[in-house]
Amino acid sequence: MKLFKEKDLKKDLGFWSALSIVVGVVIGSGVFVKPGTVLSYVGGDTNLALLAWLFGGILTLAAGLTIAELSAHFPKTGGLYVYLEEVYGRFWGYLSGWVQCVIYQPALIGAMGLYFGSLVAHFFFLNKIWGLWIGISVVLFLTLVNSLGVKYGGIIQVITTITKLVPIFFIAIFGLWNGNNHIFFSSSGISSEISMGAAILATLFAYDGWIAAASVAGEMKNPAKTLPKAIITGLMIVIIAYLSVNLALLKLLPAKAVQLSGENAASTATEILFGSVGGKLLSIGIIISIFGGLNGKILSYPRVLFAMAKHHRFPGSNFLSFIHPKFKTPIFAVFFEVALSIIFMSISNPDRLSEISIFAIFIFYIQAFIAVFILRKRKRTISCLYRVPLYPLTPLLAIAGSLFVVMSTIIYDPKGTLSAIALILLGLPFYWWMNRMRT
């Protein structure tokens, strides 16, 4: 097996593929199922609900604008892991990579695979037991496709991203056109405790995943230029899509109906717009949306493990850094991540694992945002293809938003926080063991 060389990776991803990864990974089912939940958190106040979506989008955009500068500085495969390793050194890079590769990424792949299988089984009136096998099958299928070459996964990503935007477009346009309800200064009339923090936190989780495109920088054409543009453009599309759907739902349905419908609010709106066929069309749209998001994760996530392996930061690095001589893909890193995902799908609840690991990921996000200040100080005279606008306000806003997520998680889920910390610490014995092996 040959060791990794950046030039061995085939650079088949252009701007549109990178853009589709950002949009495709972020937009899964959240845009369809979260509006009612967010409205409930703010006591049914439509103004506060829309403000939560807008504020979550602004914080995410600030994060994307900030990370884009790091991606221009370090246009290499591995994303967040590479940024922290380059700025803070081996230890912090390893910890961030550990959390991503062993918990966060396989858990999210597993959760999305299970949700895909469940929806497909329900759509075809199959027994629930089939959901697991359908989910595993689609994960294995996309693993095969992405192992044959990054361009094939990129093609699927572009097609599914365009397709998933179709139901969003129709709900937004026809909902705003046909609706008669007042969007602003309305209330569901259902009294409940207002928690703006919980509402914004829910939207931030819905916006999460945009950094996945940074993991495949080594397979992009001109990544220093392409990646920042893809991240910023992709997040703008996501923010507009999320706000448009929420405005359309509130225009078409009373706030009380949106809140009481919960996860079914978008489905109810679609049936009003397009009749009984509308619900089925939306179900198909969500299935395609999840399929595209799953493909984006399988395409991008294993690259973090691959980048760690090429630096000998993970057990079995020689094996995991292998590149297929014909397809030019890190097939063993892909297989490893998918194997962990299938284990989570079979024996556990990956949704819970992903929730507690998000806390840890945002800790490393904060480090990445601070890294921009460190790089500016170290390399004042070095020009860059991209610099974050409105510096230092933009990275400070990104830091504030991430601190909000971390503190909110500690308050709302202290047990999950302790579990996340325990999972981080679990990686330390492996780190010390590998250091001893090198000495």
Expressed in percent and rounded to 5, the helix, strand and coil fractions of the chain are 80, 0, 20
189-218 burial code (b ≥16 CB/10 A, e <16): eeeeeebbbbbbbbbbbbbbbbbbbbbbbb
Report pLDDT for 339. Answer: 93
Convert 25-58 into a string of H (helix), E (strand) and C (coil): HHCCCHHHHCHHHHHHHCCCEHHHHHHHHHHHHH
Q: What total number of domains does the chain contain?
A: 1
| 6 within some domain | no
pLDDT tens digits along 149-197: 877 888 888 888 888 888 888 888 888 888 888 888 777 667 667 778 7
| 83 within some domain | yes
The parts of the chain modelled with pLDDT lower than 50 are: 1-7, 381
Q: Would you state the structure tokens that stand for residue 239, as one six-digit string?
A: 């923010």
| 8 within some domain | no
| 191 within some domain | yes
- CATH code for position 209: 1.20.1740.10
| Residue with tokens 């081996």, as numbered in its chain | 90
Report pLDDT for 143. Answer: 92
Domain region containing 194: 15-437
| 148 within some domain | yes
Residue 1, judged by CB atoms within 10 A of its CB (0-12, 13-18, 19+), counts as: exposed
Kindly state the greatest CA–CA separation across the chain.
71
Residue 392 DSSP SS3: coil
| 5 within some domain | no
| 4 within some domain | no
Report pLDDT for 152. Answer: 81
- Please state, in angstroms and rounded to a whole number, the distance separating the CA atoms of residues 220 and 208: 22
Residue 315 DSSP SS3: coil
- Please state, in angstroms and rounded to a whole number, the distance separating the CA atoms of residues 243 and 35: 10
- Please state, in angstroms and rounded to a whole number, the distance separating the CA atoms of residues 101 and 258: 37
Any alpha helices (H) in 148-252, and if so which ranges?
150-178, 196-207, 223-252
Identify whether the C-beta of residue 196 lies closer than 8 Å to the C-beta of residue 48.
yes
- Please state, in angstroms and rounded to a whole number, the distance separating the CA atoms of residues 63 and 399: 8
Report pLDDT for 191. Answer: 64
If phi > 0 it is left, if psi is from -120 to 50 it is alpha, else beta; for residue 375 that is: alpha
